[in-house]
Chain A
Amino acid sequence: MFPRPIETWKPSTRTLYIVSVFVVLIGWLLPLIIISLASFMTADQLNAGGRGFSMPSPFSVDGWRIAFQNDDFRGSFINSFFIVLPVVAISVGLATMAGFALSKYRFRGQLIIFAIFIGGNFVPFQILMVPVLRLTQDLGIYDTKWALIFFHGAFQTGFCVFFMRNFIAQLPTELLEAARVEGASEWKIFTRIVLPLVKPAIAALSVLIFTFVWNDFFWSLVLTPASPDGMLAPAGLSNIIRGRYYNAWNVMAAGSLLVALPPVIMFFLLQKQFIAGLTLGANKG
């Protein structure tokens, strides 16, 4: 292990380490601590110079109440779930099939197709912007949540294929061969053998995609600029909360924390899957 385990350190050094970890942690979380404090202050306190390290006095939940009682913002917040969940289902589902095809068969063009999925993942959104916008207009789904589902489903498929292909490639091929010898159809092999084995990957991927899509801001601005029940929560925060409570930092602070909450809760509940997903491919090679 590097550095040496603290269990082997001198007691005094160990104490110093424990203290320094806490000091650094407080410093690291400072911006978030400060915004949390601000969310419990009154607008009066904030405007009278209370921004900064002071404690809320009086303690107030006005910011949270106002943010959550705003119909449009709450609409965008709840709407986010109805965008994110279908996107997760679409992209993970399609990618599991594609990942299977790309890892357990040999055919011409395989590598190029895989490379396209990887590359497509990294393209700047801006180069997709106008054609995607036009496409949603032609389909009549512009400025509705369907536009976001439609786009994100495809875009996230790229990352999911990359992930799934690498995961499925590690599964033993003998298992599939044995099933084939026994006369199982390819579809049966996929549903009966591959799917149960990729469950951990599906879990990891779902958590990641949930977070990625929940946090999207750009595509809400482009595809659903004027519809609170079409956009995602970060855009609701920026367009609605900031637009209406420009001078109320407590409302903006509470709104920011509300938007942050679902991915944070998700992360703390499913930490292992999240980190497994994120670090796949980072430590082999």
Chain B
Amino acid sequence: MGNVNRFAPWLFLFPALVYFFLLVIYPIFGSFWISLHDWNGTTFQCSDGRSLLELEEDESCRRVPVMTWVGLENYERFFEKTPRDFERVKNYWVGIFTGEPVRWPRISVESKVLLNNIKWLVLFPAAIPIGLAFALFLNQSPAWVRITKSMFFFPFVLSPAVIAFVFQYFYDPAGPLKEIYSALGWSSGLIGDQNKATYGIIAAGWYPQIAYCMIIYLAGLTAIEPEQIEAARLDGAKGWKLLKRVILPQLWPATFIALVVTMIGALRSFDLVQVMTGGGPGRGSTDVLARYMYHKTIFDQDYGYGAAIAVILFAIMLVFIAVFIQQMIRRDEEA
């Protein structure tokens, strides 16, 4: 094998690598760079330093942004009120547990956004056990069950924007839940109320996510060797015990994928929030980092600050990305 083999892989790799670097890897650094600046997204100058006004009428030049270096100021701005708000929320919970009359404190939009992201991270993974329950419920072989499985699964292929519309209609104060709302005294419905809206959106997010987890688990269940289950049954294991001791450990690869995809999905929640509430009602009651970043950048033209929010989101996500990559590579080396 001569030179051909040394260069061949690089030639096959080259187009994908260059393209992917240009649009996915380089922008990560680009955003990080912008996050250290103040920029309104509209001021530019020529790359040779001339102002755009100096250009002749028929002349053009490569435009580069005019940004002001601010160092870590954008990040400081984001976390400025976090310690204060943390105190307030802590006092609220202390009050709840000691029985004092307390009211939910006023906190900054940034803190609300962070809290909502935490709610997503904690509650969204409930889709995993529910998906597992569905998978166990439907893990049967008759043809009619197979058709039923696809009926359970297909919400996964719907666009999140469509899911958002469907649930917006479903949650409407005058919609199908009307009677339940009036029985509970929730006059503005689930997503019209500042305190409940995030939970309503997360529940809508479960819809496709449960379907996804179900299908992952169904594939996992099919891959378990029947002999192993039979052997465990002969040893007297059944029901819960069989599930806990034999089935669940075997399903670990499926659980791992479901967990990573769900966590990353929780942090990526943009579409549902944008369509269902636009971050409201009120200021930031359902907002999350992903949407707040978009809003700050496009609508408030605070590009540096928006980029800083994106970097913060990326940093949180990096934990899950790193765990996933590590597992993938380890599994690969074992194989």
Contact = CB atoms under 8 A, between A and B. Distances in A.
Interface of A: 1-3, 5-7, 21, 24-25, 28-32, 34-35, 38, 49, 51-53, 94-95, 97-98, 100-102, 105, 107, 110-111, 113-120, 122-132, 134-135, 138, 150-151, 153-155, 157-158, 161, 169, 180, 185-186, 190, 211, 214-218, 221-222, 233-235, 237-238, 249, 252-253, 255-257, 259-260, 263-264, 266-268, 271, 274-275, 278-279, 281-285
A279 B215 contact: yes
B223 A2 contact: no
16 contacts: A5-B141, A6-B140, A97-B15, A101-B11, A111-B329, A120-B20, A120-B24, A122-B320, A127-B307, A186-B12, A218-B271, A263-B158, A268-B154, A275-B153, A282-B257, A284-B335
Contacts of B23: 128, 132, 135, 150-151, 154-155
A131 B271 contact: no
Contacts of B322: 119
Interface stretch (B51-59, B172-180, B191-199): B172-180
A126 B313 contact: yes
Contacts of A110: 9
B136 A97 contact: no
The B contact surface, by secondary structure, is: helix
A34 B170 contact: yes
A218 to B, nearest CB: 5
Contacts of B297: 129-130
Interface residues of B, number: 114
B130 to A, nearest CB: 11
Interface stretch (B107-115, B120-128, B143-151): B143-151
B96 interface: no
B234 interface: no
A98 B12 contact: yes
Contacts of B270: 125-126, 217-218
Interface of B: 1, 4-6, 8-13, 15-17, 19-20, 22-28, 30-31, 34, 41, 62-63, 65, 136-142, 145, 148, 150-155, 157-162, 165-167, 169-170, 172, 174-176, 178, 207, 212, 215-216, 219-224, 226, 229, 242-243, 247, 252-254, 256-258, 264, 267-268, 270-271, 274-275, 289-290, 293-294, 297-298, 303, 306-307, 309-311, 313-314, 317, 320-322, 324-325, 328-329, 331-332, 334-335
Nearest to A1: B226
Contacts of A154: 19-20, 22-24
Given A6-B142, A126-B310, A253-B169, A217 B220 contact: no
B171 to A, nearest CB: 9
A285 B329 CA distance: 11
Contacts of B30: 130-131, 134
Contacts of A216: 159
A271 B153 CA distance: 10
A263 B161 CA distance: 13
A217 B273 CA distance: 12
Given A115-B325, A154-B20, A100 B12 contact: yes
